[in-house]
Structure formats: structure tokens, C-alpha cells
Amino acid sequence: MSTNREDFVLAVEGLTVSFDGFKAVNDLSFYVDEGEIRVIIGPNGAGKTTVLDLICGRTQATSGSIKFRGEELTRMKEHQIVHHGVGRKFQNPSIYDDLSVFENLEISYPRGRSVFGSLMFKRDREVIEEVENIAEIIFLQNDLDKPAGLLSHGQKQWLEIGMLLIQKPDLLMLDEPVAGMSVAERRKTAELLNRITQGRSVIVIEHDMQFVEDIAHRVTVMHQGKVLSEGSMERVKNDPKVIEVYLGH
């Protein structure tokens, strides 16, 4: 690994978080390149979701550093991290059921984010066009006026991805984006991810190995809060340590 951090979009170094003495993430380091799709896999409880929580500021790190384009994220608040260009999708579709698809996307549009900004916010042509544009990417262009609560599970996942896209993040973090999806939806999602990753880096947590093979540039295998193996899917798949703790069963 190069020590020149400026080459990386994200540089995680020596990251540790301890919950009452239990180290969910233990001295973890990894680096994500510009335009890379990185998939994190690992058995349950390996600390995958915790890593995303740490990056997006939901959990405070005990020690270590997370640098995004050279800026330290561990000291920022969640919304500041978002403003710097990190977007996060949750494991369960996290959308606003009572609002329409259009409004869900509109709220995520990166303008008028202060209290008074949101009072002054105008739904102008720019916003509408961007929302429609994103809706088309996430296959929801015909459902803009639907209350989001009526969407299918897969559509909700796409909507949340769309809500991230409209923020134009440089780093997109997706926690199990295809969990609970049908085979057809998985294929569509893989295609969607391949399309939207242009010009940005993506970290994905996923269990579905077929899906991982479809999208991953590189794979990081986590086990007990540490990196067990890292590299191409091919390499990771044949790593005896990985087979033992994860793929073997």
C-alpha cells in the first residue's frame, strides 16, 4: 500500500471502536481508490455495518483515523460528513413512507438544508428536472406521485439509492442493497450500481456472492473486526483463511 493518502478517496487507518471493552472493529485499515467499487464481506458480527457507521459518523471511533479526500471525518457531525460528499444507505430500506416518491427525492436534493433554507426552498425547474432524472435511473419514473410506503421492497431500496444519488456523493456506502430482492431485481440493481458508480467510489456490504462477483472491483473480507483478506474476488475466493471462516459454511 502506498502511504500517499492523497491518492485515495477514503483512507481508514488503525480504526478501532470499543463497546464496553468489546472491540467491534479492531485496528482496521483499508483504502478505497477513486472510482472503485469495494465490497466488504464477512460473517455476521464481523463489524461490517459498524465500519460504515464509523465512516458516516453514526458511531464515534475509539481511536484511529478516517480520511476522506484528506479530511478527517471522525471529528465531524453526521450532516457535515454528508456535506463533504459521503452518502449512506441503510440495511433496511429507510425512506419516508408518508411522502411521495417525488418528495422523498426532493428532500434529499442538496439545497436548503438549514431550517431557514428549507423555509425558503423553492421547487424550481432545476429541482424537478433532477428528481425526474434520478427517478428514471432508479426505474421509478412512473411512480413519482405514489406515496413511498406503497412501493415494493425492491423499489424502496432503489428509492433510497436514488435519494443518495441526488446528493451527488463522491463516496456511496450501501449496506446490503439487494437483501430481500428477487433475482430479477438483483440483476437490475447490479446493472444500476454499475451505471451509477461512474465518477464516484462505492463501498458495498453484501452477502450474495453472485452479486458480489458481478459488481466488485476489490473485496475486503472482515472477521472479528479485522481485515482477514483483501484483493480481487478471485484471490479472496481461493484464500484458505476466507474459506475457513466464511465461504466454507
Partner 1 sequence: MQQRSNIRFMSRQEVLGYIMLAVILLAIIPLSLDVFRLNLIGKYLTYAFVALGLVLCWGYGGILSLGQGVFFGLGGYCMAMFLKLEASDPESTKIQSTPGIPDFMDWNQITELPWWWEPFRELPFALSAIVLLPTLFAFIIGVAMFKRRVGGVYFAIITQAIAAIMTILIIGQQGYTGGVNGITDLRTLLGWDIRSDSAKVILYYVCSAALFICLLLSQFIRYKKLGRILVAMRDREDRVRFSGYDVANFKIFVFCLSAMFSAIGGAMFTLQVGFMSPSFVGIVPSIEMVIYCAVGGRLSLLGAVYGTLLVNWAKTIFSETFPELWLFAMGGLFIAVVMAFPNGLASLFKRYIEPKLPAWYSGRAIDSKAPILETDSSIETGQANALGSEENIGLSKSLTKPEAGITVVPRTDEKLEGGVYVD
146 binds partner 1 (CB under 8 A): yes
> Which of 11, 32, 66, 163 is the binder for partner 1 (CB under 8 A)?
163
How many Cα atoms within 13 Å fall on the side-chain side of residue 124?
Answer: 6
130 binds partner 1 (CB under 8 A): no
108 binds partner 1 (CB under 8 A): yes
Q: How far is the CB of 98 from partner 1 (least distance, A)?
A: 4
121 contacts: CB under 8 Å, gap ≥ 6? 111, 112
Between 62 and 94, name the residue whose CB sits nearer to partner 1.
Answer: 94
> Which of 79, 153, 235, 241 is the binder for partner 1 (CB under 8 A)?
79
91 binds partner 1 (CB under 8 A): no
How far, in Å, CA of 235 to CA of 241, rounded? 11
What is the per-residue burial (b if ≥16 Cβ within 10 Å, else e) of 137-173?
bbbbeebbeeebeebeebbbbbbbbbbbbbeebbbbb
Q: How far is the CB of 118 from partner 1 (least distance, A)?
A: 4
Q: How far is the CB of 142 from partner 1 (least distance, A)?
A: 6
96 binds partner 1 (CB under 8 A): yes
How far, in Å, CA of 165 to CA of 105, rounded? 9
> Between residue 44 and residue 63, which ones bind partner 1 under the rule CB under 8 A?
56, 58
170 binds partner 1 (CB under 8 A): no
Q: Which amino acid is at 65?
A: S
The answer to whether the beta carbons of residues 127 and 85 sit under 8 Å apart is no
153 binds partner 1 (CB under 8 A): no
Closest CA to 1 of 33, 39, 44, 47: 33
Q: Which amino acid is at 221?
A: V
Binding region for partner 1 (CB under 8 A): 56, 58, 77-79, 82-83, 87-88, 90, 94-100, 102-104, 106-108, 110, 112-115, 118-125, 128, 132, 141-142, 144-147, 149-150, 160, 163, 167
